[in-house]
Structure 1
């Protein structure tokens, strides 16, 4: 019933016997063997560096658009020269927002570009204090269907791709931000240096307003607060970005589109608490006065909030904060608590920004919680936020006395003295209670601190401690010293030693 099948010959060149004489087949075999031997000898003794050879601490170069990607040597510690900034801007907003960039940009030190939607006119002088500009490529061929958004999201999403394709050397990190984002670059370097830039990392932070995270995403780094992509991840993203942009045409923002592509690659966001989108309205005071135990990396949305310091413009407020930051980058906005048990005082220090004096003993948990001096970004409501808040009491006896930074000076090269002056809001009434009178006499806080060691950020985070130095002589000026905590030390508002 079934026909008999011939045994199959496993000679890979058996089909040639039908067409070619045996002598020629033998010649083919000899040529094949000679070729294999020659190839083996070539790879064994040639000085040519092969793409598949393993090198320690080097990212293996890949090919993209027929160009060799720059290798990254990791023998030295990450510094500012290893970061390439890609700043999303527009010609229309440039003259208004460039003043924010000029506060942190260091010509011939920081590397990167402002990416504009069109070329400036020939009679426009580009400031030397600003990063150089580049004009983004045309994006009219891409799809965009978010009815409440802007097509500029496509252009800004592609900044990382266009930055990468410049092929600049010795880049470890691509950092994206907006033209109204202020980066605190020393702290940014400190944060990025913790991570292996030869691995695929996506680093940033969420929005402060829950409504924004629900609407857009909890799993993305918000672009206004800035985010960082390691070189290998950027290389992978560049390969797929344009196709992803069309797949996620319904997404509102550039940061959401980038995160969609990174999700396809499989790399989640690594959250760092120092990136601040600042999706809030009103006064940022409560948020900044209760900064988390993390380096201050970025701030955003200044034009949508009240100035950080009273009686100053928005830009002057930022300039003042940047000025004190330059004196001690790692300590900026870091929180410390003190208690004066003889007077029942609680003191909260946010270094370089503000001091709060409570003429009562307040728990550390309360001092650690932000006063709700702001509203949510979109709905202007009192929360919810992605961090805990407490309401500002209408009773002046339950509110702290507030002091803002007045000046800062260096002491002996390795210490700073920051001075904070009492601020009374117009129409504000003082607490009439008797125990408030000594507190009302304090007009200044002098806070001394040694220079913050950035290596502390490589250890488990811990809030530093402080103490009232002139506790028995406080009149108009209170002296505070901020320092590292001693072993077993804690901020506890009790008058007596606790017993077991």
Structure 2
């Protein structure tokens, strides 16, 4: 259009659309909202590099779909060493699933060239050289630097469709279905740092309550990995005095401003001795990980450490969401109390014990550093010196499918049960119980999306027709139902 024609048009219609101030205000607000809440936001710090934009762009294009998080969205970074791997390999292979799980075992050096790497193990990578980094912790080991950088080296592999990077050790046992259940609660497009603390207070005081402990494993969302990778190397030198790789990672994450999101299903297992009390009073949360299982006593008293873990994973494979879930109920005909840790153990008390006491773990273990009886980050109760005040213990024998979406697990009396020496005549009946059968519906992951509540159970008397077998049914609690002794 010519200039004269444009002037004629403006003269004829000086205001073809009447001015609307509120429309101008609307467009200004809309523009500002777009800038503030755009999913692609760039830091204007002096450390910005175009490569950062590339990674952020990848994150938003690869993870835009709102599909539920599954195992294919997770990349594991397993800290190992060529020296410890032969011993720990069988434990990792219990949970690693070739062609299902993604990630790498990060070694300090390559295995012997004549060694065929098994397909049942995670593929390995050799960590980069860290000799140029500072490390001034006099009681630690420089391997902490290499371990801290695993998250960065995993990120820089550029793998596609990654929502979460999960770090752990080669003596960490992951329960991957429950890990997926936990991570799927969170928006993977936000910066999250998820894990748990040490059980021993002395460890947390030394290493910080803000650290997600690496042995128990921790998860870092892709957006946080973008930012963390940008600053990690320089940050490692700034925190040269810190002991562990997980401490260094947390210190760097604190510079980004992200705080730990605690999930109680991650277990560092910083305890010594018998872990029974810890496992038999598991919190109402999915079991995600167990660490140090080659350091504590075996989980099942009649099995080796490896056989014990394999047995626990066997029950986990039957019903992932229910494993170690704690429930208890009363036999009011005989004034007995049953405490069930599904897939692991049953405790039988010869009296009516309160829920408050039952949910408190027996102190069957000591602290990690000083081997003392506490303190821990949860309450414990002592084991009575009176054998008549101790519960009888039953450990898992087997788990089977029972049809109609149910399982049936059997628990046999432990021959060295805590109450075996009790000679009271009034306890003869309880001493005769040799087997506890527990029926339960499959625990669907959707149940963990609700407010956490311990499930209920009830005693079915006389089913077997014999006095030495007890039948228990686990179910969801009814409205207004509580575990309240009469």
Tell me, yes or no, whether TM beats 0.5.
yes
Runs of 4+ in 1 over 3 A off after TM superposition: 56-63, 65-69, 426-429, 471-474
Deviation at 1:341, TM superposition (A): 1.3
Deviation at 1:428, TM superposition (A): 6.8
Alignment of 1:264-279 (within 5 A): 264-279=255-270
Q: Does 1:403 align with 2:394?
A: yes
Alignment of 1:363-374 (within 5 A): 363-374=354-365
Q: Which blocks of at least 5 consecutive residues in structure 1 are unaligned?
A: 1-52, 495-500
1:78 and 1:66 map into 2 onto residues whose CA distance is: 24
Select which of 298, 304, 310 maps to 1:313: 304
1:374-397 CA deviation, whole Å, 9 max, x = no partner?
Answer: 000010000000000000111111
2:38 and 2:180 map into 1 onto residues whose CA distance is: 19
2:431 and 2:91 map into 1 onto residues whose CA distance is: 36
Select which of 456, 469, 477 maps to 1:477: 469
Deviation at 1:435, TM superposition (A): 2.2
1:356 and 1:443 map into 2 onto residues whose CA distance is: 12
Alignment of 1:141-290 (within 5 A): 141-290=132-281
Q: Secondary structure at the match of 2:294?
A: helix
1:485 and 1:178 map into 2 onto residues whose CA distance is: 38
1:302-328 CA deviation, whole Å, 9 max, x = no partner?
Answer: 121000001211111110000110100
Contact conserved, 2:328 with 2:337, CA < 8 A, in 1? yes
Deviation at 1:124, TM superposition (A): 1.4
Alignment of 1:315-464 (within 5 A): 315-412=306-403, 414-425=405-416, 429-464=420-455
1:443-491 CA deviation, whole Å, 9 max, x = no partner?
Answer: 0000000001211111110000000011696611100000000000001
Q: Which blocks of at least 5 consecutive residues in structure 2 are unaligned?
A: 1-33, 43-48
Contact conserved, 2:339 with 2:358, CA < 8 A, in 1? yes
2:38 and 2:267 map into 1 onto residues whose CA distance is: 32
Deviation at 1:367, TM superposition (A): 0.7
2:139 and 2:124 map into 1 onto residues whose CA distance is: 28
1:371 and 1:300 map into 2 onto residues whose CA distance is: 19
Select which of 30, 51, 55 maps to 1:64: 51
Deviation at 1:358, TM superposition (A): 0.1
Give the aligned CA root-mean-square deviation in angstroms: 2.0
Alpha carbons of structure 1 residues 93 and 327: separation in structure 2 relative to 1, 3 Å: same
Q: Secondary structure at the match of 1:307?
A: coil
**Which protein shows a greater Rg?**
1
1:470 and 1:242 map into 2 onto residues whose CA distance is: 64
1:245 and 1:373 map into 2 onto residues whose CA distance is: 38
2:408 and 2:329 map into 1 onto residues whose CA distance is: 17
